[in-house]
Structure 1
Amino acid sequence: MELSSFLVLVLVLAVLVLIRWIRKPSGRSLPPGPLALPLIGNLPMIDKRAPFKSFMQWSKTYGPVMTVYLGPQRMVVLVGYDTVKEALVDQADDFAPRGPIPFLNRVVKGYGLIVSNGERWRQLRRFTLTTLRDFGMGRKRMERWIQEESKHLLKSFEETRSKPVDPVFFMSRAVSNVICSLVFGQRFDYDDKSFLHLLQIISRLVRFVSSPWGQEKDNLDTEFHKNNLMATVLNLFVAGTETTSTTLRYALMLLIKHPHIQGQMQREIDRVIGRNRVPTMEDKKSLPFTDAVIHEVQRFLDIVPLNIPHYAMKDITFRGYVIPKDTVIIPMLHSVLRDEVQWETPWTFNPEHFLDANGNFKKNPAFIPFSAGKRSCVGESLARMELFLFIVSLLQRFSFSSPQGPDGIDPSPELSSFANMPRFYKLIASPR
């Protein structure tokens, strides 16, 4: 019995030492956080379906800078607008590196823009931004592509003849075709088999782009090679299609849920544009309520609540703490888009968040659905243009409803792990 008691005591002491070692590596002052268990860390305590909810709850006890362990992996979670802004903008160089994303690393093997760091990331980001601008992103050429695609999207809804349909397919085809126009210089018919052979088209693009860049082929240090090109194009398609099409689908869901908001947008659009003229980005300044609703859709959707992980490539001093090298950093976008100091009613869908007392559009610095700092989304200007032109075009021509009525719409996300994914639903597009 005495031997058993002694072994238990030794085991307890060993566990306490291990916990202390995990919590304070090399004696450094880590941010506080919930007690982590050996090997498994805080995993048993985290809401697996919505991890950000656990982080938000813990921040009430441990503050806006916390240490959390997912298994043996140490993470520092940043909560609230002031904290996230201080890290990503004020200390941009320290917090710029990207953290490991297992499923992406498995697919792209460290290549491409999203997961790369250091010189590779700097070269690819500069090249990607320059090339996208040359191809028309943020310019009239891109606006014309989106306007053209809007016509096909409207036609596809007309063909439903007011029957209930799932909007997923409609939105993804339209948004993907904009990316195709950007990357390949052409769109594809919605029933074109080329859509199903996207990899073959990417292969041709690789051969085409390899020709002018071939004069780099003997440079062993260059980042302009096939692996990086393929991975970066994949980044564009995955990020540029899924996030924007999901936001569009969610926008229609919320407008069905709040028909008075949909009606007010339509009255503003009718007054400024009418029902026949093709909307332009120039109309945006004359549609403050519509613009406010689109911004509020993005805020309320909160599509990537945890943000894409960042990483400490060296020891970082932040707010009196030391974030050790090799720590994953989570600047929570959810905590910014729901910051109770920055938003009057953060948990309510409320376009008034973006309107002043006179009904004019007003900006809010805490609106950062595309993140902030050196790792902000390279496709932000494209996404903003798509959201505005597609939504205005749709509301010009159709009123949207649900077969079950507004009460049949549940805007709460179906999945809330890496991304907030809205539930599937059916809508009716009734010509106006």
Structure 2
Amino acid sequence: MIFILVLTTILAILIIRQHRKAKKLPPGPTALPLIGNIPQLVYHAWRNKGIVPAFEYFRKTYGNVFTIWLGPFPHISIADFDTNYEVFVKNGNHYKDRLLAPIFEHCNESHGLVFANGEIWAEMRRFTLLTFRNMGVGRDIHEDRVLEEIDGRCAELDATAVDGKVVVNHGEFFELMVGSMINSLLVGKRFEEHNKPEFFHIRHLLHELNKYFTIFDMILPVWILKKFFPHRYQRTKEGMDEIANYVGRIAEKRFEDMKSGKYIVDEENPKDFVDAFLAKMEKENKNGGHPAYTMKSLKFVLSDLWSAGHDTTATTLTSAFNQFANHPEVVKKIRTELMKITNNGSRPLSLQDRTETHYLYATIAEVQRHASILNVNFWKVSDGPTKINGYELDSGEILTAQVSALHANEDIFKNPKEFNPDRFLQNEKLISQLIPFGLGKRSCVGENIAKTNLYLMIGNLLLRYDIQPHGKLPSTEEILPYSSAKVPDTSVKLEFVKL
């Protein structure tokens, strides 16, 4: 009897506290004590066939700013551009810190760029942006690297072509192309015949990790994962460690060679990201050291840049060519534009052509809108009281620009399920409301790399090849709609036909 009384009292207190809290927050479905809106989220994800359609249901029901309780904690999702800009750009200093998923924080130990906060993260972000700029990212120097990679991969395709046609596992092709490009930028090594097995091993690990990155894996405490889901915990931990160790081994070998005098870093002209970091670390150590510049920090920064930079761009390219196979009229329009500015394909598409390729730009924008890599965007934590849409929020509130829901917002993008590049030509303001790289202090550090890769790779491949389905058409629906990250269809192959 006493136990029931105590339990009832505790439950009543939780309900009252939750009700008072909810009154101060943007609207959302009624939350249950302790488990919050998890039952509704599961139900609407099942009913609407995915996390993103569930968010779109909540947006339509409660407005562009809505609250979902994940367990006992409220999470505020923002699914329109104007509010996101107000919160994360104009008031961005309040939202520098990311709510770190316990499993990520456990694996990365607060190092790196993606799963870290605080001064070490801030210093690594500054250093990475400066290093990429000094290495010519987004300019001619980087363009040469990308075109060299395209030439190398296309030469491999052409060598196996029959009557100018080659059947391509396009998911694997783009993963290798992007992985090689990223690897070259970070550690100075392309993936060629002798070291391709290294790449495919890392690729396999990334695919395995995607299977476990559900919204529930991201909110569960590590001890629960260890005790009740040991297999999921072990696969996630081992996968993240192995990716970090792979890129870390190259850096550690170079560091040892540098200490022994076998390798000399040219501080003024580093050949890759590792060189730039080692030069900076050596300089900092002479001046008393900085906690951000350690080999451990380098390993996790490389891991984040490799994993995030590879996965997002390769996924976007695969999604793009799935759309092209389904929409040959779009490819025809792009090629007409490209042939005109490259003198009938007599030269490669260059970054200098960007102002002349309006339809290609519109198509890439529409690809990115559909691809929206994350079904559930990373959550931020406010560091002080703020105001959103008239709601006074306390310090420590959890919120995010829910990009996937924004890109499916039919109030912004009419007929959002339709693949229609012309929408961006008919309404030029739409391009500013597309935020595939995020907003504010935590926007993607590799944005310029990704933009360059997408533009040059899509444009130059369509200058060289026509794209046709090999058998059935690829699906343009995502394969794992309940995971935190999108996965495009790679179950069918495409035919690349030499022009």
Instruction: Return the TM-score normalized by structure 2.
Output: 0.77
* Matched residue type, 2:309: G
My pick for the range that moved more, 196-205 or 295-304, is 196-205
- The residue aligned with 1:180 is 183
**Residues 212 and 55 of structure 1, relative CA distance in 2, 3 Å threshold:** closer
How far off is 1:193 after superposition? 5.7
- The residue aligned with 2:378 is 308
**Residues 315 and 242 of structure 1, relative CA distance in 2, 3 Å threshold:** same
**Residues 123 and 35 of structure 1, relative CA distance in 2, 3 Å threshold:** same
How far off is 1:280 after superposition? 0.6
**Match runs of 1:175-214 below 5 Å:** 175-192=178-195, 195=198, 198-205=247-254, 209-210=277-278, 212-214=280-282
Distance 1:109 1:72 in 2: 25
How far off is 1:220 after superposition? 6.8
8 Å CA contact 1:413–1:423 kept in 2: the answer is: yes
Distance 2:303 2:470 in 1: 37
Structure 1: unaligned runs, 5 residues or longer: none
How far off is 1:13 after superposition? 6.6
How far off is 1:212 after superposition? 4.7
Per-residue displacement from partner, 1:45-78 (whole Å, max 9, x unpaired)? Answer: 2136733332322233333332222123331222
Q: 3-state DSSP class of the match of 1:364?
A: helix
- The residue aligned with 1:84 is 84
My pick for the range that moved more, 240-249 or 204-213, is 204-213
Q: 3-state DSSP class of the match of 1:415?
A: coil
My pick for the range that moved more, 236-245 or 345-354, is 345-354
Q: 3-state DSSP class of the match of 1:87?
A: helix
* Matched residue type, 1:167: H
**Match runs of 1:398-409 below 5 Å:** 398-405=465-472, 408-409=473-474
- The residue aligned with 2:335 is 266
Per-residue displacement from partner, 1:381-421 (whole Å, max 9, x unpaired)? Answer: 1111101111111111111111235xx32101011331221
**Match runs of 1:33-432 below 5 Å:** 33-47=28-42, 50-161=50-161, 162-192=165-195, 195=198, 198-205=247-254, 209-210=277-278, 212-217=280-285, 219=288, 222-273=291-342, 274-356=344-426, 364-405=431-472, 408-416=473-481, 417-424=483-490, 425-432=492-499
Q: 3-state DSSP class of the match of 1:399?
A: strand
Distance 1:21 1:281 in 2: 56
**Residues 55 and 356 of structure 1, relative CA distance in 2, 3 Å threshold:** closer
How far off is 1:323 after superposition? 3.0
**Residues 264 and 415 of structure 1, relative CA distance in 2, 3 Å threshold:** same
How far off is 1:11 after superposition? 6.1
My pick for the range that moved more, 215-224 or 411-420, is 215-224
Q: How many percent of aligned residue pairs carry the same amino acid? A: 29
Match of 1:21 among 9, 17, 24: 17
Distance 1:113 1:427 in 2: 35
Instruction: Return the TM-score normalized by structure 1.
Output: 0.89
**Residues 286 and 362 of structure 1, relative CA distance in 2, 3 Å threshold:** farther
My pick for the range that moved more, 187-196 or 172-181, is 187-196
Distance 1:401 1:56 in 2: 33
Q: 3-state DSSP class of the match of 2:438?
A: coil
How far off is 1:254 after superposition? 0.2
RMSD of equivalent CA atoms: 2.7
* Matched residue type, 2:470: P
Distance 1:336 1:325 in 2: 25
* Matched residue type, 1:421: V
Q: 3-state DSSP class of the match of 1:355?
A: helix
8 Å CA contact 1:206–1:230 kept in 2: the answer is: no
How many residue pairs get matched? Answer: 422
**Residues 387 and 82 of structure 1, relative CA distance in 2, 3 Å threshold:** same
Q: 3-state DSSP class of the match of 1:429?
A: strand
**Residues 362 and 156 of structure 1, relative CA distance in 2, 3 Å threshold:** farther
**Residues 21 and 159 of structure 1, relative CA distance in 2, 3 Å threshold:** farther
More helix by share: 2
How far off is 1:129 after superposition? 0.5
* Matched residue type, 2:107: V
Q: 3-state DSSP class of the match of 1:322?
A: strand
Q: 3-state DSSP class of the match of 1:172?
A: helix
Distance 2:407 2:66 in 1: 19
8 Å CA contact 2:375–2:484 kept in 1: the answer is: yes
How far off is 1:366 after superposition? 0.5
Distance 2:196 2:374 in 1: 32
Per-residue displacement from partner, 1:135-160 (whole Å, max 9, x unpaired)? Answer: 22122110100011110121233244
How far off is 1:305 after superposition? 3.4
How far off is 1:380 after superposition? 0.8
How far off is 1:362 after superposition? 6.9
Distance 2:91 2:176 in 1: 39
8 Å CA contact 2:363–2:421 kept in 1: the answer is: yes
Structure 2: unaligned runs, 5 residues or longer: 200-245, 259-276
* Matched residue type, 2:130: T
* Matched residue type, 1:391: I
Distance 1:426 1:69 in 2: 41
Q: 3-state DSSP class of the match of 2:400?
A: strand
Distance 1:160 1:104 in 2: 42
8 Å CA contact 1:101–1:309 kept in 2: the answer is: no
* Matched residue type, 1:224: Y
* Matched residue type, 2:35: I
Q: 3-state DSSP class of the match of 1:350?
A: coil
8 Å CA contact 1:398–1:430 kept in 2: the answer is: yes
